[in-house]
Amino acid sequence: MLLDLRKMNQLIDLWLDEDVNYYDLTAKIMVDDDAVAKFGMNAREPITLSGLKLAEMVFRKMDPDCTFETSRKDGERVETGETFAVITGNAQALLTAERVALNLVQRMCGIAGLTAEYVKEIEGTGAILLDSRKTTPGLRMIEKYAVVCGGGRSHRLGLDNGIMLKDNHIAVAGSIAAAVQRAKAKAPMLTKIEVEADRLDQVHEALDAGVDVIMLDNMSNEDMRKAVEIVDKRIPLECSGGVRLDTIRAKAETGVDFVSVGRITQSATCVDIGLDDV
């Protein structure tokens, strides 16, 4: 999962405009125009890093000549009290950029850390953790990037990344077979087609229709094991629905290839990170 820095630059402009508007009144009054400051980004709890490049971009938007130094990388674990980045530059500019930079990194590290917990739960099962489109509007790219920092994989960036035939699409088409036939006739050649199934007879129908992936939606663990036997590794199977930290291992142990979890982006809590004078 790569960040599109062109899009990130556009978003950072919007985020800074939201927070700053015309100018940072406090910094302008309290800090001399030519004052120089040196601040450290400190972990106030154990965290999985995500968003270092974005933080650097935010600070450089306000002070293009500032320095952003770190020996750490996104995806690494840091402990309480560690200073993982040091920023030096114009004091007014750095103080103005502080909240936007911290908001981003706190959110992204929270998602990365929660993702890492889910990944750890399914170690050894062979299943891969996927995210979903259940993201904060406007923040999808960075939240999905944070999932990858935590060891997960991205399912779809957006609706144009693949065809997902869900129950309502199938109802409109009349059947799984009809829906898949129409999708194959109109989709770009390299586009994968996934079908949602909540019953075993739908697994048979989707398999016969020649889909690329089947999503087992809210199935019991027993039925998922039967679906794994039916498919017999001919195509990948994805488990979705009702996946929590306390249920994911049992679901992964049914033999599915992927487990998708909306909670890793929907329910992650921002971590505690400070920007302190050094």
Region 74-90: mean pLDDT is 97
- Domain residue limits, the chain: 5-119+269-277, 123-266
User: Which residue from 212, 155, 166, 156 is spatially nearest to 189, judged by alpha carbons?
Assistant: 212
What per-residue confidence (pLDDT) applies to 2? 79
Q: Which listed CATH number (3.30.470.10, 3.40.50.1100, 3.30.450.20, 3.20.20.70) goes with 123-266?
A: 3.20.20.70
What confidence tens digit (pLDDT) does each residue in 133-177 have?
999 999 999 999 999 999 999 999 999 999 999 999 999 999 999
pLDDT at 1 over 70: no
What amino acid positions are annotated as catalytic residues?
99, 134, 166, 196, 217
CATH code linked to domain 5-119+269-277: 3.90.1170.20
pLDDT at 273 over 90: yes
Residues 6+ apart with CB under 8 A from 152: 115, 118, 119, 128, 129, 130, 131, 264
pLDDT at 41 over 70: yes
- The reported pTM is 0.94
Write phi, then psi, for 182 (nearest 5 degrees).
Answer: -65, -45
Mean pLDDT rounded to a whole number for the chain: 96
